[in-house]
């Protein structure tokens, strides 16, 4: 099997494979995405946007951040009025969503703004440098690791963070679960399925996941640790997780026999994780049932699970579109089309989900959850 991409990074990976007698797929993905200054996210390369490899909602239009700010203001008014509140974004990338949220809070909700402390937690120092320029007008503090965050009261949110965490690849064969390793044989890299680790088997058992025979799919143990840590850091408030993915019941349906792991490179996707190493993004769908289950272990209660379309419409997107329609000029017409992209079924509107959890909050009702999508396997989280 041939590995292509950044030469220096590939040499480091090969060296590690030789030294350890093989590395798990998760460790390979960790090297490919996060190896200091050589990984996809840690190196100086445009990733998000037209010159990058993929778009995020905030790249298209500020409305996503504006309506999130509206939702956050409701939380401030109901649960934190006249008190200091901390908003934390984890994995803020270029900082566009943070910019849209802070800009909206500052202009529309000045009293809320005066009480907000904003913290951006970003593992990539390349992205922190970009954020420092973009967010220079706001009161923001930066951290590289959630571990260094003090306990807070307020809101912790992320957008497309959990899908970017390195995952294990597992396979079921003759009823037994195996996990993928990369090994070296006569100077060549090869895939090697070994019996799955105790942690992986425990995860499958705790979540009641029984994948079909022959299926290859992902197990995201870092997501389990991360959501638990988020719950530990939050003393009172809400957690918003925005990402693509499903509850377990949908995620392991037989029509996903090859799992959900995909690579993004210059706005095209492929399934060859071993090409363009360090130059392409590798992502997998989020198991939202796992976030609910493990969140509970650190006191996070389930508030609701919805998709981007319902969330944005509940918060007033239709009114914004109506106002633009009434204006009737070309610029407004163009913007309406962009806004439609955010809510199209089968597109971003359904693909992106929003899981909301809360801790030590009474009456956690939120406008963004007032009308929910149909409660089928794609939206119904087991055990809530
Ligand atoms: C796909 S980008 C998300 C972009 C951004 N949230 C947006 O809306 O445009 C994922 C980001 O998460 C960061 N990241 C990954 N793991 C992290 C972790 N454990 N803590 C903080 N940031 C992390 C990556 O460096 C990257 O900047």
The string of DSSP letters for 12-53 reads: HHHHHHHHHT-EEHHHHHHHHHHSTTTSTTTSS---BSTTSS
Kindly give the distance from the C-alpha atom of residue 92 to the centroid of ligand 1, in angstroms, as a whole number: 5
65 in contact with ligand 1, CB cutoff 6 A? no
DSSP state, residue 324: H
Kindly give the distance from the C-alpha atom of residue 37 to the centroid of ligand 1, in angstroms, as a whole number: 15
124 in contact with ligand 1, CB cutoff 6 A? yes
For ligand 1, atom 25, the nearest C-alpha belongs to: 124
pLDDT in tens, 87-103: 999 999 999 999 999 99
Regions of the chain where pLDDT drops below 50 = none
pLDDT in tens, 164-213: 999 999 999 999 999 999 999 887 889 999 999 999 999 999 999 999 99
Please report the pLDDT score of residue 48 as a whole number. Answer: 67
303 in contact with ligand 1, CB cutoff 6 A? no
Helices (H) and strands (E) in the chain, counts: 15, 16
The DSSP bridge pattern shows strands 352-359 and 286-287 to be: unpaired
Backbone angles phi, psi at 325, to 5 degrees: -60, -40
**Distance between CA atoms of residues 18 and 119, nearest Å:** 40
Please report the pLDDT score of residue 359 as a whole number. Answer: 98
Q: ∠ CA(341), CA(343), CA(348), 5° rounding?
A: 70
Q: Which CATH fold topology does 7-316+355-364 show?
A: Rossmann fold (3.40.50)
Kindly give the distance from the C-alpha atom of residue 91 to the centroid of ligand 1, in angstroms, as a whole number: 3
For ligand 1, atom 12, the nearest C-alpha belongs to: 91
Kindly give the distance from the C-alpha atom of residue 266 to the centroid of ligand 1, in angstroms, as a whole number: 18
**Distance between CA atoms of residues 64 and 248, nearest Å:** 27
The DSSP bridge pattern shows strands 168-173 and 176-185 to be: antiparallel
Please report the pLDDT score of residue 187 as a whole number. Answer: 76
Residues 6+ apart with CB under 8 A from 289: 207, 247, 248, 249, 251, 381, 382, 383
């Amino acid at each position: 099997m041939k590995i292509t991409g950044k030469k220096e990074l590939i040499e480091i990976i090969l060296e590690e494979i030789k030294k350890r007698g093989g590395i798990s797929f998760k460790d390979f993905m960790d090297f490919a995405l996060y190896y200091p200054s050589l990984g996809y996210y840690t190196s100086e390369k445009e990733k998000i946007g037209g010159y990058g490899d993929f778009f995020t909602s905030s790249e298209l239009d500020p409305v996503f951040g504006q309506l999130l700010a509206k939702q956050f203001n409701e939380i401030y008014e109901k649960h934190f009025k006249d008190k200091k509140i901390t908003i934390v974004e984890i994995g803020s990338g270029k900082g566009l969503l943070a910019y849209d949220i802070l800009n909206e809070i500052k202009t529309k909700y000045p009293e809320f703004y005066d009480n907000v402390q904003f913290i951006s937690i970003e593992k990539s120092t390349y992205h922190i440098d970009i954020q420092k320029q973009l967010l220079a007008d706001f009161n923001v503090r930066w951290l590289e690791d959630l571990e260094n965050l003090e306990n807070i009261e307020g809101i912790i949110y992320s957008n497309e963070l959990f899908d970017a965490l390195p995952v294990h690849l597992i396979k079921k064969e003759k009823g037994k679960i195996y996990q993928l390793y990369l090994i070296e044989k006569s100077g060549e890299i090869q895939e090697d399925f070994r019996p799955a680790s105790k942690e992986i088997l425990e995860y499958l058992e705790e979540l009641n996941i029984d994948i079909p025979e022959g299926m290859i799919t992902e197990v995201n143990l870092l997501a389990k640790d991360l959501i638990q840590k988020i719950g530990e850091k939050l003393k009172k408030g809400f957690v918003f997780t925005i990402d693509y993915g499903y509850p377990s019941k949908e995620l392991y349906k037989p029509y996903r026999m090859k799992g959900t792991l995909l690579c993004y490179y210059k706005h095209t996707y492929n399934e060859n994780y071993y090409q363009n190493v360090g130059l392409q993004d590798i992502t997998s769908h989020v198991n939202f049932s796992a976030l609910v289950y493990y969140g509970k272990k650190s006191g996070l209660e389930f508030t609701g699970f919805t998709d981007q379309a319902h969330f944005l419409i509940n918060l007033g997107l239709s009114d914004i579109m109506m106002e633009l329609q009434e204006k009737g000029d070309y610029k407004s017409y163009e913007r309406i089309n962009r806004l439609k992209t955010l809510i199209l079924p089968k597109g971003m509107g359904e693909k992106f989900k929003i899981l909301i959890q809360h801790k030590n909050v009474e009456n956690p009702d939120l406008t963004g959850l007032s009308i929910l999508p149909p409660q089928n396997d794609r939206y119904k989280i087991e055990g809530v």
